[in-house]
Amino acid sequence: LGPAAMSFYGMAWSASRIPLWILNQALGLVLVPTLTHVRTDTERVERVLGESLRHAYLLLVPACTVLFITADSLVTTVLGAKWLPIVPALRVMSVSVLMAPLVIAFNGLLVAMDRAHLTGLATGAQLGTIVVLVLPLATRWGVVGAAFGDLVSTIVLTTVLFVLCRVRVPEVRWEVAPAAVLPGVA
């Protein structure tokens, strides 16, 4: 990408992750101990996961929507007009951040159920996707292509974690759609 484009990419990545960092402090640090405590009660595990996803999306969807819609004015106001090239990448990354609550929940469940080693498979799939996709996408479409590579790798990570949870912890039913869609629609 070159130094200037990498600066744009890095700034877009950091800015898109601000809502995620805040959410991770609230959800990530509490979820694993809570799930570990109730892990023998499948009903409570499902309730904890469902409620944490619902609350996470209730906070994250509006933040990412505001970031997506106002990206150009936010960048101009906070960073100045010379940073406007990050806007398209920032918008793509604000969508990829919406996978984060699922990733946090899936990781939390695997760790709480003594299957933390499986997260390495998902991370490996994500890194493989980054290696395969980012260079050709960035070469063709620059910073926006790299952002799409990040989005696809995040989707791969989320999907692999979901499959691992379904296969290794089949007793826990995932009500992902109601937990994520309702706040998203609201």
Q: Which is more confident, 98 or 180?
A: 98
Confidence check: pLDDT of 179 > 80? no
Per-chain mean pLDDT for the chain: 88
pLDDT tens digit sequence for 3-13: 788 788 888 87
**SS3 annotation, 111-175:** HHCCCHHHHHHHHHHHHHHHHHHHHHHHHHHHHHHHHHHHHHHHHHHHHHHHHHHHHHCCCCCCC
Q: Which of 157, 158, 151, 155 is nearest to 9 (CA)?
A: 151
Count of residues in the chain? 186
pLDDT band at 54 (very low <50, low <70, confident <90, very high): confident
List Cβ<8 Å contacts ≥24 apart for 127-136. Answer: 127/153, 129/153, 129/156
Task: Tell me phi and psi for residue 62, to 5 degrees.
Answer: -65, -40
SS3 content of the chain, % helix, strand, coil (to 5): 90, 0, 10
Gap between the Cα atoms of 61 and 139, Å rounded: 31
Confidence check: pLDDT of 21 > 70? yes
What pLDDT, on a 0 to 100 scale, did the predictor assign at position 83? 87
Global pTM reads 0.86
pLDDT tens digit sequence for 115-173: 999 999 999 999 999 999 998 999 999 989 999 999 999 999 999 999 999 999 999 98
Tokens encoding 32: 């694993």
Beta-carbon-side half-sphere exposure of residue 140 (alpha carbons within 13 Å): 9
Gap between the Cα atoms of 44 and 41, Å rounded: 5
Confidence check: pLDDT of 2 > 90? no
